[in-house]
Structure 1
Amino acid sequence: MDDESLSSEIRSTLVSLEKQIAHSEAQFEKLMVATTTSMKLLSGQSTTLEGIGGNPKEIKSYLLRLSQSVREEVIEGLRNLEKQLRMVLKGFEDEKRNV
């Protein structure tokens, strides 16, 4: 893998990383809003979740599902980035061995 190819692969991986970071931030924000809203509802304060008929069991279930979903999406994105970086490194190392 020549220097230009390596540079291109690293730039591509950085773009993927930036997208993953933005996606993760959005997912964590969603989780924080849901958690804060649920805590308000469970403490007796008025929230938008009251309007959708959320009872405590449903809210707890929703938070658990949302937490699991956020976790899975973040981990999957990070694993994909890890694979990309390992492929770039392997290509670079293979090229250096052949020189």
Structure 2
Amino acid sequence: MGPAREDDPYGVLGVSPQAGDEEITDAYHRLVRTAHPDAGGAEPERLAAVVAAYRVLRQRRRRESPREPARTGTDVPVAVRPARPRGPDLVAGPVRYHGPA
């Protein structure tokens, strides 16, 4: 496989377009381990490209799966609670005195 282009998420992760979810995730984890600053191979640009590529492919997988249609702001149910009457923040009840026994 040739050099990875930034606009080709499959090339950045080094997988084929026919790759399954598990293969994409494995490639992502492998590349993050090599490019992460804590691993000693600090490559911030490469790490950012890998994370961005995985984000695109993960979202594409989600979009391809059947799900309920997205809701708009007009059909989202909103619960409105009635306002509570405000009273004192602290209420102390009667106090009993228990004198010496």
Higher relative contact order (CA 8 A, sep 6+): 1
Same fold flag (TM > 0.5): no
Q: TM-score, normalised by structure 1?
A: 0.37
Higher helix fraction: Structure 1 or Structure 2? 1
Q: TM-score, normalised by structure 2?
A: 0.36
